[in-house]
Amino acid sequence: MSLPKIVLAASLLAATSAYAQSTSGTLVVVPAFAEVVHANDQAVASFNIEEQDKDKAVAASRVNQKMKQGMEIIRREDPQAALKTQGYYTYPVYAEQRPLPNGAVVKPQLTGWRVGQSLEVKTLNLAGLSKTTAAAQKVLALAGLNFGLAPATLRKLDDERIAATYKNLGERIASIAAAMGRNRADATLDTVDFEGSGNYAGQDRAQAAPMAMKSMRMSESASVAEPSFEPGETTLQMNLVGKVRFK
Protein backbone atom coordinates (compact mmCIF):
# COMPACT_ATOMS: atom_id res chain seq x y z
CA MET A 1 0.00 0.00 0.00
CA SER A 2 1.37 3.38 -0.97
CA LEU A 3 2.20 5.94 1.68
CA PRO A 4 -0.69 8.31 0.80
CA LYS A 5 -3.19 5.45 1.12
CA ILE A 6 -1.72 4.35 4.44
CA VAL A 7 -1.95 7.89 5.77
CA LEU A 8 -5.58 8.21 4.54
CA ALA A 9 -6.60 4.89 6.12
CA ALA A 10 -4.98 5.86 9.39
CA SER A 11 -6.75 9.20 9.32
CA LEU A 12 -10.14 7.55 8.72
CA LEU A 13 -9.49 5.04 11.50
CA ALA A 14 -8.55 7.83 13.87
CA ALA A 15 -11.61 9.84 12.89
CA THR A 16 -13.87 6.82 13.39
CA SER A 17 -12.33 6.09 16.76
CA ALA A 18 -12.69 9.70 17.81
CA TYR A 19 -16.34 9.73 16.66
CA ALA A 20 -17.10 6.51 18.54
CA GLN A 21 -15.30 7.81 21.60
CA SER A 22 -17.39 11.00 21.55
CA THR A 23 -20.60 9.00 22.02
CA SER A 24 -19.43 7.32 25.21
CA GLY A 25 -21.95 7.91 27.98
CA THR A 26 -24.49 9.40 25.58
CA LEU A 27 -28.15 9.14 26.64
CA VAL A 28 -30.41 8.64 23.63
CA VAL A 29 -34.22 8.99 23.74
CA VAL A 30 -35.79 6.50 21.32
CA PRO A 31 -39.49 6.56 20.34
CA ALA A 32 -41.09 3.31 19.18
CA PHE A 33 -44.42 2.52 17.58
CA ALA A 34 -46.49 -0.50 16.55
CA GLU A 35 -50.06 -1.38 15.70
CA VAL A 36 -52.17 -4.52 15.45
CA VAL A 37 -55.31 -4.98 13.37
CA HIS A 38 -58.14 -7.39 14.14
CA ALA A 39 -61.58 -8.01 12.69
CA ASN A 40 -64.37 -6.76 14.94
CA ASP A 41 -66.03 -9.62 16.80
CA GLN A 42 -68.62 -7.89 18.97
CA ALA A 43 -71.72 -5.84 18.20
CA VAL A 44 -73.63 -3.52 20.52
CA ALA A 45 -77.11 -2.76 19.25
CA SER A 46 -79.56 -0.26 20.70
CA PHE A 47 -83.30 -0.85 20.32
CA ASN A 48 -86.12 1.34 21.54
CA ILE A 49 -89.88 1.50 21.72
CA GLU A 50 -92.08 4.56 22.14
CA GLU A 51 -95.85 4.85 22.52
CA GLN A 52 -98.16 7.83 22.85
CA ASP A 53 -101.67 7.90 24.27
CA LYS A 54 -103.95 10.31 26.10
CA ASP A 55 -103.97 7.80 28.94
CA LYS A 56 -100.54 7.49 30.56
CA ALA A 57 -101.23 3.99 31.85
CA VAL A 58 -102.24 2.76 28.40
CA ALA A 59 -99.07 4.14 26.79
CA ALA A 60 -96.88 2.65 29.53
CA SER A 61 -98.62 -0.71 29.26
CA ARG A 62 -98.00 -0.91 25.51
CA VAL A 63 -94.34 -0.02 25.97
CA ASN A 64 -93.92 -2.64 28.69
CA GLN A 65 -95.62 -5.34 26.63
CA LYS A 66 -93.64 -4.62 23.46
CA MET A 67 -90.33 -4.40 25.29
CA LYS A 68 -91.01 -7.75 26.91
CA GLN A 69 -91.97 -9.24 23.55
CA GLY A 70 -88.89 -7.79 21.87
CA MET A 71 -86.59 -9.17 24.56
CA GLU A 72 -88.16 -12.61 24.20
CA ILE A 73 -87.58 -12.51 20.44
CA ILE A 74 -83.92 -11.52 20.85
CA ARG A 75 -83.28 -14.19 23.49
CA ARG A 76 -84.88 -16.78 21.23
CA GLU A 77 -82.79 -15.78 18.22
CA ASP A 78 -79.54 -15.22 20.15
CA PRO A 79 -79.51 -17.01 23.54
CA GLN A 80 -75.94 -15.88 24.32
CA ALA A 81 -76.63 -12.17 23.85
CA ALA A 82 -76.36 -9.88 26.89
CA LEU A 83 -79.41 -7.63 27.32
CA LYS A 84 -79.73 -4.48 29.42
CA THR A 85 -82.82 -2.28 29.59
CA GLN A 86 -82.23 1.44 30.07
CA GLY A 87 -83.60 4.91 29.47
CA TYR A 88 -87.25 4.53 30.57
CA TYR A 89 -89.05 7.86 30.22
CA THR A 90 -92.54 9.36 30.53
CA TYR A 91 -93.27 12.85 29.13
CA PRO A 92 -96.48 14.86 28.93
CA VAL A 93 -97.63 15.99 25.49
CA TYR A 94 -99.24 19.41 25.15
CA ALA A 95 -101.33 20.87 22.36
CA GLU A 96 -99.58 23.39 20.14
CA GLN A 97 -100.30 26.91 21.37
CA ARG A 98 -100.68 29.81 18.99
CA PRO A 99 -99.94 33.29 20.31
CA LEU A 100 -103.02 35.48 20.79
CA PRO A 101 -103.19 38.92 19.16
CA ASN A 102 -103.28 40.66 22.53
CA GLY A 103 -100.24 38.75 23.75
CA ALA A 104 -102.15 36.86 26.41
CA VAL A 105 -100.60 33.66 27.70
CA VAL A 106 -102.75 30.57 27.32
CA LYS A 107 -102.33 27.72 29.77
CA PRO A 108 -100.89 24.67 27.97
CA GLN A 109 -103.46 21.95 27.40
CA LEU A 110 -102.37 18.39 28.16
CA THR A 111 -103.31 16.08 25.29
CA GLY A 112 -101.51 12.86 26.17
CA TRP A 113 -98.38 11.10 27.31
CA ARG A 114 -95.28 9.82 25.54
CA VAL A 115 -93.63 6.78 27.09
CA GLY A 116 -90.52 4.98 25.89
CA GLN A 117 -87.74 2.61 26.83
CA SER A 118 -84.40 1.50 25.36
CA LEU A 119 -82.65 -1.85 25.22
CA GLU A 120 -78.93 -2.52 24.79
CA VAL A 121 -77.90 -5.82 23.24
CA LYS A 122 -74.31 -7.09 23.21
CA THR A 123 -73.52 -10.11 21.11
CA LEU A 124 -70.62 -12.05 19.65
CA ASN A 125 -72.90 -13.82 17.19
CA LEU A 126 -72.22 -11.58 14.21
CA ALA A 127 -73.21 -14.29 11.77
CA GLY A 128 -76.78 -14.26 13.10
CA LEU A 129 -76.95 -10.51 13.78
CA SER A 130 -78.97 -9.65 10.67
CA LYS A 131 -81.56 -12.33 11.38
CA THR A 132 -81.85 -11.34 15.04
CA THR A 133 -82.19 -7.67 14.18
CA ALA A 134 -84.90 -8.26 11.59
CA ALA A 135 -86.88 -10.37 14.04
CA ALA A 136 -86.61 -7.74 16.77
CA GLN A 137 -87.61 -4.96 14.37
CA LYS A 138 -91.07 -6.45 14.11
CA VAL A 139 -91.66 -4.97 17.57
CA LEU A 140 -88.76 -2.68 18.44
CA ALA A 141 -86.92 -0.02 16.47
CA LEU A 142 -83.18 -0.28 15.84
CA ALA A 143 -81.73 3.02 17.04
CA GLY A 144 -77.99 2.37 16.71
CA LEU A 145 -75.31 -0.23 16.12
CA ASN A 146 -71.62 -0.27 17.03
CA PHE A 147 -69.02 -2.88 16.13
CA GLY A 148 -65.92 -3.43 18.20
CA LEU A 149 -63.75 -5.98 19.96
CA ALA A 150 -64.78 -8.31 22.77
CA PRO A 151 -62.95 -7.86 26.10
CA ALA A 152 -61.12 -11.18 25.70
CA THR A 153 -59.91 -10.13 22.24
CA LEU A 154 -58.74 -6.77 23.57
CA ARG A 155 -56.66 -8.48 26.27
CA LYS A 156 -55.09 -10.79 23.70
CA LEU A 157 -54.30 -7.94 21.33
CA ASP A 158 -52.87 -5.84 24.15
CA ASP A 159 -50.23 -8.52 24.71
CA GLU A 160 -49.48 -8.56 20.99
CA ARG A 161 -49.10 -4.80 20.58
CA ILE A 162 -46.86 -4.53 23.66
CA ALA A 163 -44.59 -7.21 22.19
CA ALA A 164 -44.65 -5.55 18.74
CA THR A 165 -43.85 -2.11 20.17
CA TYR A 166 -41.00 -3.43 22.30
CA LYS A 167 -39.61 -5.23 19.25
CA ASN A 168 -39.73 -1.97 17.30
CA LEU A 169 -37.81 -0.29 20.11
CA GLY A 170 -35.04 -2.89 19.84
CA GLU A 171 -34.86 -2.44 16.06
CA ARG A 172 -34.55 1.34 16.41
CA ILE A 173 -31.86 1.04 19.05
CA ALA A 174 -29.86 -1.22 16.71
CA SER A 175 -30.26 1.28 13.85
CA ILE A 176 -29.20 4.21 16.04
CA ALA A 177 -26.18 2.30 17.32
CA ALA A 178 -25.10 1.54 13.75
CA ALA A 179 -25.53 5.16 12.74
CA MET A 180 -23.36 6.25 15.68
CA GLY A 181 -20.66 3.76 14.78
CA ARG A 182 -21.31 1.73 17.91
CA ASN A 183 -22.13 -1.87 18.62
CA ARG A 184 -25.65 -2.74 19.75
CA ALA A 185 -24.11 -4.44 22.78
CA ASP A 186 -22.75 -1.07 23.92
CA ALA A 187 -26.28 0.24 24.48
CA THR A 188 -27.94 -0.25 27.84
CA LEU A 189 -31.68 0.27 28.09
CA ASP A 190 -32.18 2.67 30.97
CA THR A 191 -35.92 3.43 30.88
CA VAL A 192 -39.00 2.26 29.00
CA ASP A 193 -41.89 4.73 29.26
CA PHE A 194 -45.22 3.49 27.91
CA GLU A 195 -46.92 6.80 28.76
CA GLY A 196 -44.35 9.43 27.90
CA SER A 197 -45.47 9.57 24.27
CA GLY A 198 -48.92 10.82 25.21
CA ASN A 199 -50.62 7.49 24.47
CA TYR A 200 -52.85 7.61 27.53
CA ALA A 201 -55.85 5.43 28.17
CA GLY A 202 -58.79 6.12 25.93
CA GLN A 203 -56.79 7.49 23.00
CA ASP A 204 -56.38 4.22 21.11
CA ARG A 205 -58.38 3.81 17.98
CA ALA A 206 -60.08 0.82 19.56
CA GLN A 207 -63.54 1.57 18.66
CA ALA A 208 -65.06 1.43 15.26
CA ALA A 209 -67.14 4.40 14.09
CA PRO A 210 -70.76 4.03 15.16
CA MET A 211 -73.32 3.20 12.51
CA ALA A 212 -76.13 5.68 13.07
CA MET A 213 -79.54 4.42 12.10
CA LYS A 214 -82.80 6.28 12.10
CA SER A 215 -85.35 4.89 14.51
CA MET A 216 -88.58 3.75 12.87
CA ARG A 217 -91.80 2.59 14.43
CA MET A 218 -93.28 -0.58 13.02
CA SER A 219 -96.40 -2.57 13.64
CA GLU A 220 -96.10 -5.89 15.41
CA SER A 221 -97.25 -7.85 12.37
CA ALA A 222 -94.92 -6.15 9.90
CA SER A 223 -92.36 -8.36 8.20
CA VAL A 224 -88.88 -6.84 8.10
CA ALA A 225 -86.23 -7.74 5.54
CA GLU A 226 -82.88 -8.62 7.07
CA PRO A 227 -80.50 -5.64 7.17
CA SER A 228 -76.93 -5.90 5.87
CA PHE A 229 -74.01 -5.31 8.22
CA GLU A 230 -70.24 -5.17 7.72
CA PRO A 231 -68.42 -5.40 11.08
CA GLY A 232 -65.13 -4.04 9.72
CA GLU A 233 -61.94 -4.11 11.78
CA THR A 234 -60.25 -2.27 14.60
CA THR A 235 -56.69 -0.93 14.71
CA LEU A 236 -54.95 -0.74 18.07
CA GLN A 237 -51.86 1.44 18.31
CA MET A 238 -49.17 1.80 20.93
CA ASN A 239 -46.28 4.19 21.44
CA LEU A 240 -43.46 4.07 23.93
CA VAL A 241 -40.27 6.00 24.65
CA GLY A 242 -37.04 4.27 25.63
CA LYS A 243 -33.94 5.90 27.09
CA VAL A 244 -30.71 4.22 26.04
CA ARG A 245 -27.25 4.97 27.39
CA PHE A 246 -24.12 4.02 25.48
CA LYS A 247 -21.05 2.82 27.35
Helices marked H in 137-237 — which ranges?
151-179
* For range 209-232, the mean pLDDT: 59
131 and 176 together in one domain: no
pLDDT at 170 over 50: yes
Say if 133 falls within a structural domain. Answer: yes
The answer on pLDDT for 244 being more than 60 is: yes
State the pLDDT confidence band at 115, using cuts at 50, 70 and 90: very high
Whole-number Å distance between alpha carbons of 197 and 165: 12
Lowest model confidence (mean pLDDT) among 56-65, 83-92, 209-218, 221-230: 209-218
The pLDDT of 29-53, averaged and rounded, is 95
Give the pLDDT mean for 140-158. 94
Tell me the residue range of the domain where 56 lies. 43-96+109-148
Specify the range with the lowest mean pLDDT, choosing from 17-21, 62-66, 106-110, 135-139: 17-21
Half-sphere exposure of 203 (CA within 13 A, CB side): 8
Residues 191 and 159 in one domain: yes
pLDDT of residue 215 exceeding 50, the answer is no
* C-alpha span between 209 and 247 (Å, rounded): 48
Q: Cβ distance 86 to 47 under 8 Å?
A: no
User: Is the CB of residue 140 less than 8 Å from the CB of residue 207?
Assistant: no
Q: Are 48 and 144 members of one domain? A: yes
The answer on pLDDT for 90 being more than 90 is yes
244 burial class (0-12, 13-18, 19+ CB within 10 angstroms)?
buried
